[in-house]
Amino acid sequence: MRIVTRRQFLEGSATGIVAAGWGASSLCAQDWAQQAVDKSPRRHEMVQVKYGARALDTFISYPQSQGKSPAVVMLHDVIAFAPWFENVADKFAEAGYIGVAPDMLSGRTPDERKATKTPEGKNLGPARRLPLDQVTADLNALTDYARKLPGCNGKVCVVGFSWGGDEAFRFALGRRDLAAAFIFYGKCTEPDKIPNIQAPVYGFYAGTDTNVGATIPETTEKMKAAGKFYDPLIFEGAGHGFMQAGASPNAKEADKKAWDASWVKLKALRPKFD
């Protein structure tokens, strides 16, 4: 395991975001998130989680409690690791979880981190070009790593946002020893595999997100038919990405309410993973 500095990590993330085509303004708009983490009283470290020839640059945030805690392996959105994601990891630590936040684009060149265009001319984030087998292998390595952390009580959850939500759900369909899956505005992309899932699934969705929202009824029906636990929360008026936008100082009221309500729920769930 190689320790990397936070500055090196964030500089690499900044390069990825700019290369992806979202521009430096995206980073400047997240100064509040970086400042919040800088001021946090919780312990952070930057590590590389290695398996085989692969190394995942990973930010870890630890709770201040003396006892052992569950861990959450996190998946960012389709763009890249960014300050908002680091801030969410720190908030998980505040809620009593060890936040394990990898850059899933680790090892990618600036060109490989660039966005491509859909036929409609929209940006297509680089994470969607990651091989699914690699994503699964990364998540298996990260889960194993998190479980072995000295401060972990052996319980590991997976959490994802947007693209990361899709992949967290997909991972939970195959990994049988997860304590839970927290899905933020992500889809179940392989509904036929729902009977395989073992972990309870908690969904956090934006009321104005009609794309993801359209999939919730089918997921609910299939999870119920398979006898699986699925608890979807839909925050009316909130937009896709509220776990980034809702923490911003100039957040819209609905996004801020969704951010606050999500942490109330996650903190209430925390004792289930002792």
Helices (H), ranges, the chain = 6-20, 24-28, 31-39, 83-94, 132-147, 163-174, 210-213, 216-225, 242-245, 253-269
Q: For the whole model, what pTM was predicted?
A: 0.90
Task: Give the sheet arrangement for strand 54-62, strand by strand.
Answer: 43-51, 54-62, 98-102, 69-75, 152-161, 180-184, 201-206, 230-235
CATH H superfamily, domain 6-273: Alpha/Beta hydrolase fold, catalytic domain (3.40.50.1820)
pLDDT digits (tens, 9 = 90+) for 131-160: 999 999 999 999 999 999 999 999 999 999
Full DSSP string of 182-250: EEES---S-GGGGGG--S-EEEEEETT-HHHHTTHHHHHHHHHHTT--EEEEEETT--TTHHHHTTSTT
* Torsion sign over Cα 28, 29, 35, 37: negative
Q: Where are the domains of the chain?
A: 6-273
Mind listing the pLDDT tens digit for each residue in 52-96? 999 999 999 999 998 999 999 999 998 879 999 999 999 999 999
Residue 30, helix vs strand vs coil: coil
Per-residue pLDDT of the chain (274 residues), as tens digits, is: 444 444 555 555 444 444 444 444 454 568 999 999 999 999 999 999 999 999 999 999 999 998 999 999 999 998 879 999 999 999 999 999 999 999 999 998 888 888 888 788 877 788 988 999 999 999 999 999 999 999 999 999 999 999 999 999 999 999 999 999 999 999 999 999 999 999 999 999 999 999 999 999 999 999 999 999 999 999 999 999 999 999 999 999 999 999 999 999 999 999 999 9
